[in-house]
Amino acid sequence: MKKTGPEAKLLVVDDEPNIRELLSTSLRFAGFDVVAAANGRDALAAAETHNPDLAVLDVMLPDMDGFTVTRRLRAAGRHFPVVFLTARDDTDDKVTGLTVGGDDYVTKPFSLDEVVARIRAVLRRTHPLEDDDAVIRVDDLELDDDAHEVRRGGEVIDLSPTEFKLLRYLMMNPNRVLSKAQILDHVWEYDFNGDASIVESYISYLRRKIDRNPNAVALIQTKRGVGYLLRTADKR
C-alpha cells in the first residue's frame, strides 16, 4: 500500500509554474507517481482525492503558507510526511520546525538530484519496513546517503558537498553515459548559469579521490564528445 521507492505517490505544490514543472518532470522520471497543485486550496483537495505518500510543499503559497496547509492536512487525518521548499534567505538561520517528525526541507534554488535524494531519505525513514537501503554500491564503491559517507574498498573517502552529489548522480546511473549538460542539470542548482566546463573540473577532483590507483580499471570513464560514465566491473 505505502511504497517508499519508486512508485510512491507524491503531491507537488508550488505556485511558480516553472518550478512545478521542473519538479514534476524530474520526479516522474525518477519513478514517482506525481500529482501537482499550484496553491493551498488545490493541494488540500488533491490530498483528499489522491492520498499521496509524501508532499513536496513550497512554504510561500499565494493563498496560505505551507504550515497552514500541513496543519490542515494533519487535522484531516493525513499523516504523510512533507518536504518543504523554502527560499534560502528565509531559512538560512531562522525558520525552524521544518524537520519535526519525519519532515525535511530543501532551500531554493535547489539541485534536482538533491531533492530526489531528500525525498527518498524521508520515505525511507517514515516507512522503515521496506528493505530499501540508503547505501548505493558500484563495485567496491559505497555511498551511504544517511551518513553522507563514501567508501572505496571499505576505506572512507572524504568528499566535498559538490563532489558527493556528483558521485551520487553517477552511481545512480551506472553504465550509462551522462552528458555534461545532464550532469549540470541534475547536480548543480537549477539557477546555475556558469560554464559546463565546471563538470570537467569536478570529474577531475573525483578521479583524484576515488580512481587514484593507476593499475586498476578506472571507474569514471570519458566518452569523448558525449559525456562520462561510471563503469561496473562486470560490464567491462
208's CB contacts (< 8 A; 6+ apart) are: none
Q: How many helices (H) and strands (E) does the chain have?
A: 8, 11
61, 15 contact by CB (below 8 A): yes
**Under rule CB under 8 A, residue 234 binds its own copies:** no
Helix (H) or strand (E) holding 185: helix 180-187
In the complex, least distance from residue 111 CB atom to its own copies, rounded to whole angstroms: 12
Touching its own copies, residues 25-64 (CB under 8 A): 25-26, 28-29
- Supply φ then ψ for residue 30, to 5 degrees: -75, 0
CA angle 98, 54, 170 (to 5 degrees): 90
All cell numbers assigned to 115: 531533492
Q: Which one of 99, 201, 204, 213 is in contact with its own copies (CB under 8 A)?
A: 99
Q: Which does 203 bind (CB under 5 to 8 A by kind): its own copies, DNA, none?
A: DNA
In the complex, least distance from residue 161 CB atom to its own copies, rounded to whole angstroms: 4
In the complex, least distance from residue 11 CB atom to DNA, rounded to whole angstroms: 29
Q: Which does 186 bind (CB under 5 to 8 A by kind): its own copies, DNA, none?
A: its own copies
Instruction: Quickly tell me which residue has 525518477 as its cell.
Output: 30
Q: Which one of 12, 56, 80, 91 is in contact with its own copies (CB under 8 A)?
A: 91
Strand order in 149-152's β-sheet?
135-138, 141-144, 149-152, 155-157
84, 57 contact by CB (below 8 A): yes
**Under rule CB under 8 A, residue 226 binds its own copies:** yes
**Under rule CB under 8 A, residue 88 binds its own copies:** no
31, 6 contact by CB (below 8 A): yes
> Which is nearer to its own copies, 39 or 182 (by Cβ)?
182
**Under rule CB under 8 A, residue 177 binds its own copies:** yes
> Which is nearer to DNA, 64 or 177 (by Cβ)?
177
- Supply φ then ψ for residue 38, to 5 degrees: -105, -10
Binding site for its own copies (CB under 8 A): 1, 3, 17-18, 21-22, 24-26, 28-29, 70-71, 74-75, 79, 91, 93-94, 96-103, 105, 112, 125-126, 128, 146-148, 156, 160-161, 175-177, 179, 181-182, 184-186, 190, 192-193, 195-197, 223-227, 229, 231, 235-236
